[in-house]
C-alpha cells in the first residue's frame, strides 16, 4: 500500500473522531447567553453555530494531518531523516486545497451577506427610540410619544429603530440577550434595529472602553407586552 492510500483513511478517521469529540465538548459549553430574546438573536446564533461547525471540521483535519505527519514521518533514533512521503500527488493536493479554500471563502461571504440583510435589510420600524451616551450613562427618549424613561422599554413583537449617538467619547451599546452591539459616536447617529420576542428585563452594557467608570456604564432594556407599552413609558418618564 502506498503512503498516500494509507494516509487518507487514517487522517479521515482521526479527523472524524476529533470533530465528534470537539462538537460534544462545545455542545456542553454555553458560548452564548442563555436567553434568545429577539429575532436578531436567533439569526446571530444560527450564523455562529454554522461557522463554528465549519471551524471545528477544519481544525480537526489540520490537527489530524499534523498528528499523522509527526507519527509516521518523525526522524529515526539515529537522528537521521524521517520517512519520505514518496507517492504524494503534491500538485493535486495543493490545487484541491486552494479550490476548497476559495469555495469556502466565497460561500461564507454569501452566507454572511444573507444573514446581514436579514438583520439590517429593512429600514421599516414600528417604534423609534433615541439613545444618547455620555460618560457614564445612557439616556433614552421616544420623540413620537414625548417620553424619556430611565431605561429602554420595547414592545414585544414590534420592530424598533434605535438611533444612537454620543455626547463625548466613543461608547458602544451592547445588549447580550439580543446579540446586538452598535457604536455610539460623537457627532454621528448610528442605527440599530431589533424585534424583541421574549418579555423580561435584560442588561445593557457599554462595550467600548470610555474612561474610569466604563464598567459602571450600565442600564436595562425591558420588553413588555404591546398593550402595556405606552402606559409603561408614561409610568417611567422622568
N-to-C CA span, the chain = 80
Q: Are residues 16 and 100 in the same domain?
A: yes
DSSP 8-state secondary structure symbol assigned to residue 125: -
Grid cell, residue 211, equals: 474612561
pLDDT per 10-residue tile (average), the chain, 238 residues: 74 91 87 86 90 92 90 70 59 82 92 86 89 93 89 94 94 94 94 94 93 92 92 70
My answer on whether omega of the bond before 136 falls inside 30° of 0, hence cis, is yes
The answer to whether residues 133 and 227 belong to one domain is yes
Say how far apart CA 37 and CA 125 lie, in whole Å: 18
Name the residue among 157, 176, 179, 142 with its Cα closest to residue 223: 157
Residues 55 and 138 reside in one and the same domain: no
Q: How is residue 180 written as a grid cell?
A: 446586538
Residue pair 49/36 in contact by the 8 Å Cβ criterion: no
φ, ψ (nearest 5 deg) of residue 169 = -110, 180
Q: Which CATH number characterizes residue 201's domain?
A: 2.60.40.420
Question: pTM for this one?
Answer: 0.79
Supply the pLDDT for residue 144. Answer: 87
Cell of 96: 484541491
Please identify, among 92, 120, 148, the residue that sits at the C-terminal boundary of a domain.
Answer: 120
Domains identified in the chain, total number: 2
- Do 112 and 131 have their domain in common? no
Cα separation, 200 vs 37, whole angstroms: 8
The reply to whether 131 and 226 lie within a common domain is: yes
Using alpha carbons, select from 46, 205, 214, 220 the residue that is nearest to residue 118: 46
Write down the pLDDT at residue 109.
92
Residues in contact with 168: Cβ distance below 8 Å, sequence separation at least 6, in sequence order: 134, 135, 186
- By residue range, what is the domain housing residue 11? 3-120
**Total residues belonging to the chain:** 238
| 87 and 140 fall within a common domain | no
Closest CA to 195 of 72, 38, 14: 38
One domain for residues 136 and 232: yes
Q: Are 204 and 174 in contact (CB under 8 A)?
A: yes
Classify strands 160-166 and 127-134 as parallel, antiparallel or unpaired. Answer: parallel
Q: Does 150 share its domain with 181? A: yes
Domain limit, last residue, from 94, 120, 146: 120
Quick one: 36 and 105 in the same domain?
yes
13 plus 93 within the same structural domain:
yes
Where does a domain end: 58, 90, 120? 120
Q: Answer yes or no: do 19 and 113 share one domain.
A: yes
Q: What is the 3-state secondary structure (H, E, C) of 20-58?
A: HHHHHHHHHCCCCCCCCCEHHHHHHHHHHHHHHHHHHHH
Residues 137 and 232 in one domain: yes
**Residue 99 three-state SS:** helix
Q: Quick one: DSSP state of residue 144? A: G
The phi and psi torsions of 110 (rounded to 5 degrees) equal -65, -45
Write the CA distances from 161 to 53, 121, 128, 129, 139, integer angstroms: 32, 13, 5, 6, 15
Amino acid at each position: 500500500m502506498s503512503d498516500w492510500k494509507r494516509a487518507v483513511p487514517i487522517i479521515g478517521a482521526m479527523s472524524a473522531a476529533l470533530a465528534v469529540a470537539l462538537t460534544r465538548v462545545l455542545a456542553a459549553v454555553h458560548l452564548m447567553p442563555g436567553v434568545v430574546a429577539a429575532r436578531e438573536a436567533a439569526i446571530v446564533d444560527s450564523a455562529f453555530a454554522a461557522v463554528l461547525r465549519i471551524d471545528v471540521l477544519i481544525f480537526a483535519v489540520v490537527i489530524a494531518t499534523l498528528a499523522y505527519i509527526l507519527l509516521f514521518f518523525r526522524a529515526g533514533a539515529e537522528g537521521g531523516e524521517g520517512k519520505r512521503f514518496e507517492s504524494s500527488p503534491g500538485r493535486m493536493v495543493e490545487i484541491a486545497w486552494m479550490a476548497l479554500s476559495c469555495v469556502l471563502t466565497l460561500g461564507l461571504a454569501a452566507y454572511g451577506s444573507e444573514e446581514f440583510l436579514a438583520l439590517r435589510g429593512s429600514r421599516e420600524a414600528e417604534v423609534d427610540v433615541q439613545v444618547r451616551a455620555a460618560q457614564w450613562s445612557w439616556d433614552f427618549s421616544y420623540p413620537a410619544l414625548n417620553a424619556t424613561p430611565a431605561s429602554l422599554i420595547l414592545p414585544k413583537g414590534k420592530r424598533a429603530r434605535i438611533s444612537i449617538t454620543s455626547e463625548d467619547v466613543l461608547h458602544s451599546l451592547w445588549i447580550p440577550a439580543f446579540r446586538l452591539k452598535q457604536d455610539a459616536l460623537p457627532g454621528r447617529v448610528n442605527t440599530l434595529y431589533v424585534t424583541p420576542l421574549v418579555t423580561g428585563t435584560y442588561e445593557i452594557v457599554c462595550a467600548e472602553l470610555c474612561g474610569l467608570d466604563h464598567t459602571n456604564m450600565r442600564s436595562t432594556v425591558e420588553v413588555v407586552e404591546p398593550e402595556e407599552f405606552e402606559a409603561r413609558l408614561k409610568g417611567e418618564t422622568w
